Structure 1
Amino acid sequence: MLKNDVIQSFENHHDKRIKKYLNLFLALVISSSIYTAYIIRYTNTSNKITQYSSGISYETYNYGLSKCEEIKRIKPDNNHIQSRTSNPRFVPGTKDILLKNARILDGIGQDFLGDVLLKNGIISEITNYDEKKNDINVNDDTVVIDLKKKFVTPGLIDMHSHAGVSSWPYLKGTDDVNEETDPLTPFVRAKDALNPSDPAIRIISSGGVTTSLIIPGSGNLMGGEGYVIKMRNVSTLSVDDMGINYGINPSEEKEWRWLKMACGENPKKVYRFQNRIPTTRLGEGWLFRKKFQEVRTLFRKQNDWCDSASKLSSNNNVQLDSPFPEDLQYDSLMALFRGDAKLNIHCYETHDLEAIIRHSLEFNFTISALHHALDAYRIPDVIKRANSQITIATFSDNWGYKKEAFQASTRSPKILADAGIPVALKSDHPVTNAQHLAFEAAKAHHYGLDEKLSIASITSVPARALGLNHRIGQITIGYDADLVVWDSHPLSLGATPLEVYIDGIPQFDTPNSVLSGKSKGSKRSSAQNEPIKNKVKRKERIASSVIINNIGKIFVNKDTIIEPKNSSVKDENISIIIKDGLVECIGNCVISNHNPPEVIDLNGGYVLPGMIAVGGSLGLIEIGQEPSTTDGFVPIINYPDSEDQVIKAIDGLKFGGKHLEAAYKAGVLCSITSPLSFGVINGISVAFRTGSYTVLDEEPIIESETALHVQIGVSFKNAYIPSVSSQIGLLRRTLLRAVFKPTTRNIYSKVAKGLVPLAVHTDNKDEIASLIKLKQQISNHGGDLRLIIIGGTEAHLIAEQLSKNNVSVVLSPSRPVPNLWTAKNVLIGSPITNTTGIEILVKHKVKVAIGVHNSAWTRNLVWDAGWAVTNSNGLLDEKDAVALISWNLEEIFNLNRKKLNKQGLSKGNIANFVAYDGNPFDLNTKVRLVAGGGRKDILIDPIQD
């Protein structure tokens, strides 16, 4: 009623009593209006209050109240969950399993001998023999296995994987890793794309990985929501059933969510091609802050709505006139702001890491983990400025592929750990094969990370970063029954699971006789268990002369190995004397006491000939994604009629780069590098010494025309040569023309005559078979093709034909994966297959060697060879391992023997070898000395950056 109407009514009444009541009514109306205006003005100007509102329904209002209750509800503290007696993922009918006499590495620093009972999908009981040795009571159906002191760890946890959203083999139809239509897609979910039939899931679990965080890729600033899964296939093929949160009670256990974001080069690169923001870090910073501000605004609106609603809760007839403010596209980010989501951010460089921490402080959210973060070791103090403890989820030694990965250090995990920052090692599968996650930890330990922290980096540390350390990541009563039984110490070279238990279920049905059988053992020296801090700190230095004493074994060449005849005779000393860069004596040397050079005691260590790298880009590429640091890619040759069209790698060599230095310090003293190409014909490779400074050095080049390199396969199809059949047809026409019209100058004639090898990069068995047929055809017309297969993923399928036709194989990578449709027939090895491709090739007497698939890992060649031997079921020995990376390659590529014989391990030669302080196939062994590789000086105690 309007005020004027009330006054008019008052004037029309003459009765004093009526006037009195009208006066009282007027006061009530005015007071009520003032009160309502006060509530609206001072409670929340954006939320209207109404009685029996027509603005929103009672149901909508109640929904808003329920959202407020959800916000206010105190979430369970997973760190204080009482011991669990069952696992909701337990499969009825699964038998209890008692692992007896196990060497338990529990993931949180304990190492003891004991028993573990797996029951109802959890770790039900543990006996530590150091404390007591009481038998665990079991029922008649319990499977009892005596492990005979084999190592047992928690199931490994990979907190950065794209398995299931980037499936093997790679196909466009299964590529769901990135929604790159917009730089800000926090609302998409990996859960909605995950392929539970990805063959990688079983392969990864065979390496002991039982839990993985599957996240979108790094093309977007905000890539979306991740999903944590157990790495076991479920009978329902249900993605929900694979989830770590399956069956939990949210009122008792917090149901975490996981977000993925990225900064730095990747988003810039993606959206620069689209000509839209962000094309710079400037744009990245703005978009981050803009989106965070939008979320913060919504966050405050929700809080204001709930505050207003709570003040009206006592009056059932009064409600707000607007619905609870929410927007599905902000749902995951709102979970972050409310502390219900763990944020994982892909960032590398110091300023990128600092920028995202700055954003978190400005908008008051927490960061769970910085991923990759290869620069983190340079700014530990900046990382500690964050409002919560951040885990660094990083690589052990993957580096150099782009600028932000170029200043990485192998010592990064140790530096960070020493600074009190948690370190997790992860795979970024399929960037690295998550099957070998334990190898990441082993390499980090090799470079200085404490053994217990190395184990924790793939178990308890990622569990804590994911908010799941109350149920996985350690061997503790009440935790999920996720365990791995290893054939050797998990940080030893080639360590392989014998059995993997997920939720108490054995994944590979390994016979108990194998689990109870003899352990493979491990080449871990006594120094392996020596605390890192107590080890001798050596300083890198150079010398021109040196005496190497107490050598355990010298691999001179394939015909000569020198070692003490009786290792128990202390006075028998095998030595090498190098004077002014030349080998003066080898074997039982008489050491003069007159002005002797520095003496290096190898303490039984090995000496190997300089290793040879094949298949990488050493000398031509420094930073792969920076064209100014590469030689560039040669033009595609469609009609190879002229010698002038063929490019020689020797003309583009750049010496002294970081990749070459890392290879040299690891004892890789020769590289065979071919020109870079997207086409069929790469060009002519060069064999050169990795330690050289320029081509003007004294004999830096071993062979200027090492081989003609060709690429065959789906990866090399282009607009000019669009099919594999046309690739092989081009090669056939070129070589047959060279046979029928030979010239002494033409490289193709030299190849057809066998004067220069033909190195073909290919993986598929049918393509390899076609090449064998081409070799036969060339032979039938008087030629002699010396065919080398580089890659060879499926070569084992035609091993007999390769042997009969004298075709060599350089396996690259040495542990292949089924990443291509045309190369999916891979023998993964134990515990999935009983043999590997390299074993089959060796059994058929194929000349085999190991190549380099990633230039960053050239320094790991000796480990690749050792891995092959360790897992060859006794077929290969140490001599075979050395052959795979040295003299086999010399023979395969027919390197100039005269030049090679001037350097090596013979008296009078220029020294060209690498010496270790132990067995090089033990990951604890370090390089003590590098001689040769194009340098006159000897490098002592080299340090890998």
Structure 2
Amino acid sequence: MVNYLCPSLSGENPSRVYSDTRMDTIWAFREAYNKAAQIKKQQDDFCARAEAGDFEGLGDFPHDLKWEALVDVLRGRVKVNIHCYEAVDLDALVRLSNEFKFPIAAFHHAMETYLVPDLLKKAYGNTPAVALFATNARYKREAYRASEFAPKILAEHGIRVTMKSDHPVLDSRHLLYEAQQAHFYGLPDNLAIAAVTSNSAEVMGMGHRIGYLKVGWDADVVIWDSHPLALGATPVQVFIDGIQQLYDPYVISKPEAFQETPKVPNFDKEAHEAVKYQGLPPLTPKTSSAETVIFTNVKSVFTRSGAGVRKLFSFEEKGALGDVVRSGKITCSGQCVKDHFVENADVLVVDLEGGSIFPALVSFGAPLGLEAINQEPSTNDGNVFDPLMSPVPSILGGDSAVVRAVDGLQYNTRDALLAYRGGVTTAITAPSHRKFFSGLSTMFSTGASHKLEEGAIIQEVTGLHFSVRHFGSPSVSTQIAVLRRLLLNPPEGDLGEQLKLVLQRVMPLVVEAHSADVIATLILLKKEIEYQKGFSIKLTVTGASEAHLLAKELGEAEVGVILNPPRLFPHVWEDVRILAGPPLTEHNAITKLVAENVTVGIGNLEIWSARSTRFDVAWASLEADGKLSKEQAIALASKNLEDLLGAKIDDEETDLVATTSGDLFELNAKVVAVVSPKRASVDLF
């Protein structure tokens, strides 16, 4: 059988590109398949006459290149893969498959398939496979009902699941990470591995030669340094057609436990609710009404300190019982817990089963709080006016106007609440922009219901944000010239007042830059400003794909760096010189910068990925191969981020997160509570 991929689109994509309605799209499909069916019948009639020896007036074989692929679809010679999201479109295409009698190999993206598994089984010929993402969701309305439990639910209905990338939004290099997350959220280990190996091969019609380790199959083999489903699993060697691909790979020493199938939490209740609520289960946290909450069987406690993050206790070593929390604050740790088990007292006991308590994480880079659905303008704050691109309206204050992200905050968005439930209880967000100028960022609680709630706004203004990149127009040199002029001669108005705060080191100047050449220019600009003004300024570079090339210079200049994304990817030319990390290099960007005393933070490029910050922290720790302690890794997405972005938070006022069955570095750990001193509360999940 000849196998092709025949991608089809249904739903929002053709509507956006071709201005078609759903009725237009399905009618176009039916019209096309009907035409193909007519040609197929003409060909069959031709062949029947030829085989019967009836050549009189037979003419040429009926053929139309335009419809050749669809005719072969109807003959079962071409596999159909369909890009489709919602149940209404899935239904239309299942009906189409039965009307014209062709099988569907797989539905891709397919966010709502887990809500209608029985519908998929009605497709012609066989049940289509589903190729989807682990957590990538809500970027458009069609993806709003996506669930991290979809792979688990589909597998339970006997439907073949494959995990996919969406390069470069989801980096194909880390396709295995999709399988790891799917396993974390309930997909059995054997099916999670199959979802990126044998299932994918079978869906493509290539299961007879790839996707399995069998005699006679293509010799494409990866040897991993740990179990493939263990977070951060890294290739030790890759063979393609039996040929070794890596020479002198840097091999990380992983803990023994990483060689076994990782244990994961039980999400049966959450998966049930995902279906029960049609993809939109309640996410609002429930606050404990008890005066005192006692966490027992605590394995370790990490807390914030002036210098960063430190381990307060390791209870396995000390044999202590746990923690007591009153009014959102830990009041005692260790054996003193026994004194609080008083009969008839208002006490809630939470057994962490060997879990951990650690400082809550912070998200930066993703527009948390400024959008609910990326591609739906009515759900977003929108982009600021950029004085380098066009005149700013005088009613706003003209070119000296500065927009504050705090004014456009939206609360109770699903991405923010999912981040909160993942231990990311605060976010620092700058105004959305297209090019050079952004404005003033803000810090807020991801678990708050509205802006007027106590603790909803943690700090109204944190830093002043710009971006210097290769946009084409205006030029990089123009952007630098504007920054120089603004800093040396702050204009009148709001912008000038904010720049004076930068020059007084009250707030940081935060500049997105990726190219090492632009970063070098920013270092020189900082030195120029400091020489001219006679005092230092606080500069933070975000994005920073090529910052590792200037690690020593950044450290000497006291310029902080926020890597975003934390596992760098060369999206465009100015990102091209990334440091790959193991197995290709010993160092990655984080360890290279930390070694030169650069304060480093990590951000989230996509809004839906904020919830997975704990995995980014754990991955950074693992890939550092001992060059980064757990305390330093936690600081990457908490204390360091706050310092780099101008957040001035009392260590005793920061949230704490409790996990069961392990710490945030372990896949079997599940976030079960957020302890908030500022709000004097304990939220339970």
TM-score (norm 2): 0.91
2:661 aligned with 1:924, yes or no?
no
Q: Deviation of residue 825 (structure 1)?
A: 0.2
Q: Contact conserved, 2:6 with 2:80, CA < 8 A, in 1?
A: yes
Q: 2:551 aligns with which of 773, 790, 799?
A: 799
Where do 1:189-268 residues align within 5 Å?
254-268=1-15
Identify the residue that residue 336 of structure 1 maps to in structure 2.
Answer: 73
2:348 aligned with 1:592, yes or no?
no
Give me the whole-angstrom Cα distance separating, in 2, the residues matched to 1:537 and 1:336.
36
> Structure 1 residues 302 and 652 mapped into 2: Cα distance closer, same or farther (>3 Å)?
same
CA RMSD of aligned residues (A): 2.6
Identify the residue that residue 277 of structure 2 maps to in structure 1.
Answer: none
2:106 aligned with 1:369, yes or no?
yes
Q: Deviation of residue 750 (structure 1)?
A: 1.1
> Structure 1 residues 902 and 779 mapped into 2: Cα distance closer, same or farther (>3 Å)?
same
Structure 1 unaligned segments of length 5 or more: list them: 1-253, 273-277, 905-910
Give me the whole-angstrom Cα distance separating, in 1, the residues matched to 2:89 and 2:528.
57
Give me the whole-angstrom Cα distance separating, in 1, the residues matched to 2:266 and 2:367.
34
Instruction: State the Cα deviation string for residues 249-272 of structure 1 (Å, max 9, x = none).
Output: xxxxx3322211111111111123
Identify the residue that residue 635 of structure 1 maps to in structure 2.
Answer: 385
Q: 2:129 aligns with which of 366, 375, 391?
A: 391
Identify the residue that residue 664 of structure 1 maps to in structure 2.
Answer: 420
Q: Contact conserved, 1:868 with 1:881, CA < 8 A, in 2?
A: yes
Q: Deviation of residue 933 (structure 1)?
A: 8.8
Give me the whole-angstrom Cα distance separating, in 1, the residues matched to 2:670 and 2:320.
21
Give me the whole-angstrom Cα distance separating, in 1, the residues matched to 2:266 and 2:329.
35
Letter in 2 for 1:606: S
Matched residue SS, 2:122: coil
Letter in 2 for 1:309: A
Q: Contact conserved, 2:601 with 2:640, CA < 8 A, in 1?
A: yes
Identify the residue that residue 289 of structure 2 maps to in structure 1.
Answer: 544
Q: Deviation of residue 431 (structure 1)?
A: 2.3
Give me the whole-angstrom Cα distance separating, in 2, the residues matched to 1:672 and 1:502.
44
Give me the whole-angstrom Cα distance separating, in 1, the residues matched to 2:95 and 2:621.
49
Instruction: State the Cα deviation string for residues 571-629 of structure 1 (Å, max 9, x = none).
Output: x2242212343433234433323235222222322211111111110110110100000
Letter in 2 for 1:747: Q
Give me the whole-angstrom Cα distance separating, in 1, the residues matched to 2:232 and 2:438.
34
2:255 aligned with 1:521, yes or no?
yes
Instruction: State the Cα deviation string for residues 489-526 of structure 1 (Å, max 9, x = none).
Output: 11111100101112211111357xx88xx952365598
Where do 1:282-301 residues align within 5 Å?
282-301=23-42
Where do 1:460-859 residues align within 5 Å?
460-510=198-248, 520-521=254-255, 524=258, 528-529=262-263, 542-545=287-290, 546-557=293-304, 558=308, 560-564=310-314, 567=317, 572-590=319-337, 591-596=340-345, 597-638=347-388, 645-715=401-471, 717-718=472-473, 722-738=474-490, 746-782=497-533, 783-859=535-611
Q: Contact conserved, 2:328 with 2:680, CA < 8 A, in 1?
A: yes
Matched residue SS, 1:428: coil
Instruction: State the Cα deviation string for residues 472-496 of structure 1 (Å, max 9, x = none).
Output: 1112222221211000111111100
Q: Deviation of residue 808 (structure 1)?
A: 0.3
Q: Contact conserved, 2:300 with 2:316, CA < 8 A, in 1?
A: no
Matched residue SS, 1:551: strand
Q: Contact conserved, 1:450 with 1:531, CA < 8 A, in 2?
A: no
Q: Contact conserved, 1:544 with 1:580, CA < 8 A, in 2?
A: no
> Structure 1 residues 295 and 565 mapped into 2: Cα distance closer, same or farther (>3 Å)?
closer
Q: 1:427 aligns with which of 136, 153, 165?
A: 165
Q: Contact conserved, 1:917 with 1:928, CA < 8 A, in 2?
A: no
Matched residue SS, 2:187: coil
Q: Deviation of residue 706 (structure 1)?
A: 0.3
Q: Contact conserved, 2:400 with 2:495, CA < 8 A, in 1?
A: no
Q: Contact conserved, 2:329 with 2:676, CA < 8 A, in 1?
A: no
> Structure 1 residues 538 and 632 mapped into 2: Cα distance closer, same or farther (>3 Å)?
closer
Give me the whole-angstrom Cα distance separating, in 2, the residues matched to 1:505 and 1:479.
14
Give me the whole-angstrom Cα distance separating, in 1, the residues matched to 2:494 and 2:163.
56
Give me the whole-angstrom Cα distance separating, in 2, the residues matched to 1:551 and 1:312.
85
Q: Contact conserved, 1:812 with 1:850, CA < 8 A, in 2?
A: yes
Give me the whole-angstrom Cα distance separating, in 2, the residues matched to 1:913 and 1:451.
27
Instruction: State the Cα deviation string for residues 403-443 of structure 1 (Å, max 9, x = none).
Output: 11111111100010001111000112222111111110000
Q: Contact conserved, 1:544 with 1:579, CA < 8 A, in 2?
A: no
Structure 2 unaligned segments of length 5 or more: list them: 274-284
Give me the whole-angstrom Cα distance separating, in 2, the residues matched to 1:536 and 1:495.
27
> Structure 1 residues 534 and 659 mapped into 2: Cα distance closer, same or farther (>3 Å)?
closer
Instruction: State the Cα deviation string for residues 31-64 of structure 1 (Å, max 9, x = none).
Output: xxxxxxxxxxxxxxxxxxxxxxxxxxxxxxxxxx
Give the % identical residues.
37
Q: Deviation of residue 566 (structure 1)?
A: 6.0
Matched residue SS, 1:292: helix
Matched residue SS, 1:550: strand
Q: Deviation of residue 308 (structure 1)?
A: 1.5
Give me the whole-angstrom Cα distance separating, in 2, the residues matched to 1:355 and 1:622.
28
> Structure 1 residues 574 and 798 mapped into 2: Cα distance closer, same or farther (>3 Å)?
farther
Give me the whole-angstrom Cα distance separating, in 2, the residues matched to 1:643 and 1:523.
58
Instruction: State the Cα deviation string for residues 612-655 of structure 1 (Å, max 9, x = none).
Output: 11111011011010000001111112389968611000111111
Identify the residue that residue 634 of structure 2 maps to in structure 1.
Answer: 882
> Structure 1 residues 537 and 655 mapped into 2: Cα distance closer, same or farther (>3 Å)?
closer
Q: Deviation of residue 542 (structure 1)?
A: 4.1
Letter in 1 for 2:508: P
Give me the whole-angstrom Cα distance separating, in 2, the residues matched to 1:537 and 1:331.
43
Give me the whole-angstrom Cα distance separating, in 2, the residues matched to 1:655 and 1:587.
37
Q: 1:442 aligns with which of 177, 180, 189?
A: 180
Matched residue SS, 2:8: strand
Q: Contact conserved, 1:615 with 1:852, CA < 8 A, in 2?
A: yes
Letter in 1 for 2:452: L
> Structure 1 residues 531 and 687 mapped into 2: Cα distance closer, same or farther (>3 Å)?
closer
Q: Deviation of residue 934 (structure 1)?
A: 6.9
User: Would you say how many aligned residue pairs link Structure 1 and Structure 2?
Assistant: 658
Give me the whole-angstrom Cα distance separating, in 2, the residues matched to 1:742 and 1:533.
53
> Structure 1 residues 522 and 643 mapped into 2: Cα distance closer, same or farther (>3 Å)?
farther
Q: Contact conserved, 2:130 with 2:160, CA < 8 A, in 1?
A: yes
> Structure 1 residues 862 and 525 mapped into 2: Cα distance closer, same or farther (>3 Å)?
farther
Letter in 2 for 1:398: N
2:3 aligned with 1:269, yes or no?
no
Q: Contact conserved, 1:647 with 1:684, CA < 8 A, in 2?
A: yes
Matched residue SS, 1:833: coil
Q: Deviation of residue 341 (structure 1)?
A: 1.0
Give me the whole-angstrom Cα distance separating, in 2, the residues matched to 1:531 and 1:733.
54
Instruction: State the Cα deviation string for residues 184-225 of structure 1 (Å, max 9, x = none).
Output: xxxxxxxxxxxxxxxxxxxxxxxxxxxxxxxxxxxxxxxxxx
Give me the whole-angstrom Cα distance separating, in 2, the residues matched to 1:259 and 1:690.
42
Matched residue SS, 1:552: strand
Q: Deviation of residue 396 (structure 1)?
A: 0.7
> Structure 1 residues 504 and 618 mapped into 2: Cα distance closer, same or farther (>3 Å)?
same
Q: Deviation of residue 764 (structure 1)?
A: 0.6
Instruction: State the Cα deviation string for residues 711-745 of structure 1 (Å, max 9, x = none).
Output: 11024x55xxx21211111111111112x989997
Deviates most, 916-925 or 927-936: 927-936
Give me the whole-angstrom Cα distance separating, in 1, the residues matched to 2:436 and 2:201.
46
Give me the whole-angstrom Cα distance separating, in 2, the residues matched to 1:499 and 1:319.
64
Give me the whole-angstrom Cα distance separating, in 2, the residues matched to 1:519 and 1:707.
39
